Structure 1
């Protein structure tokens, strides 16, 4: 399908050079670029990963969350 678009002169020069490097037409390079952009946009539309807060209450009695070594020892004891 033929269509007309306005494009920055500098950008068009870059597209022409790229097309020559690849041995492709300007239309093919533009079409591929638009296709990649649309796919990238679809990937970006995924909902962001959300961390759900743990609502289990407080630490067990005797567990000091500020003492890494004691915390690791407590976790090892639970195994």
Structure 2
């Protein structure tokens, strides 16, 4: 199957060099690299344990969707 790819100049130069070194076509080098990349298992993100506090929820009058209001509340003396 034919397709067009836009490759970074440095990648193309390296791929052409690899093809010449191995005595294969540029298409074969690109196909092999793509197959190798697709064969790798997808990296899993590490599970993060969130530490939460129990309580009665948000303080009365606090609007978590209003950043300005939150800043004002945080600046209030305790």
Give the TM-score, by structure 2 length.
0.53
Q: Give the structure with the higher percent helix.
A: 1
**Displacement of 1:46 after TM fit?**
6.9
Residue in structure 1 matched with residue 42 of structure 2 by the alignment: 44
SS in 1 for 2:5: coil
Q: Distance in 2 between matches of 1:47 and 1:14?
A: 31
Residue in structure 2 matched with residue 35 of structure 1 by the alignment: 35
Structure 1 unaligned segments of length 5 or more: list them: 49-79
The 5-angstrom pairing of residues 1-79 of structure 1 reads 1-40=1-40, 43-44=41-42
SS in 2 for 1:4: coil
Structure 2 unaligned segments of length 5 or more: list them: 47-78
Give the TM-score, by structure 1 length.
0.52
Q: Structure 1 residues 47 and 10, CA, compared in 2 at 3 Å: closer, same or farther?
A: closer
